[in-house]
Structure 1
């Protein structure tokens, strides 16, 4: 039941987006700038997500495997 609701919601969002894209050539400049800003924001988030995933999954940010960590022992009172 939840999957069908999700699919219907995604379909509705897609239809609204398509409707907005079809009306974009006749839109006011403010609407065009706002729509472009939203698209750029979504693209930036997706690019950052891809960079994060590639660094995490492939180990691109870390030069090599990390050594074993040693535990810190408490100091004896003086």
Structure 2
């Protein structure tokens, strides 16, 4: 129950910051924008990583045998 209350508290603080954003100073707007951009980037990279991992696990295609390449000795 503590985790749910903590997440609710964080959500309320974020909503309050969003409400105050139009009256905020430019530095606060820039800092908030950077934090939002960083969070979105991390979530996007996590989504890409999970989709690539899932594609390998779920959609495995049979691969042929690997053949070692040996150097050709000149005559």
The runs of 5 or more residues in structure 2 that have no matched partner are: 66-75
Taking structure 1 as the reference length, the TM-score comes to: 0.72
The runs of 5 or more residues in structure 1 that have no matched partner are: 69-78
Equivalent pairs counted in the alignment come to 62
Taking structure 2 as the reference length, the TM-score comes to: 0.75
Q: 1:35 aligns with which of 32, 35, 38?
A: 32
Q: Residue 52 of structure 2: SS of its match in structure 1?
A: helix
- What is the CA RMSD across the aligned residues, in angstroms? 1.9
Residue equivalent to 1:45 = 42
Q: 1:20 aligns with which of 14, 17, 20?
A: 17
Deviation at 1:67, TM superposition (A): 6.9
Residue equivalent to 1:5 = 2
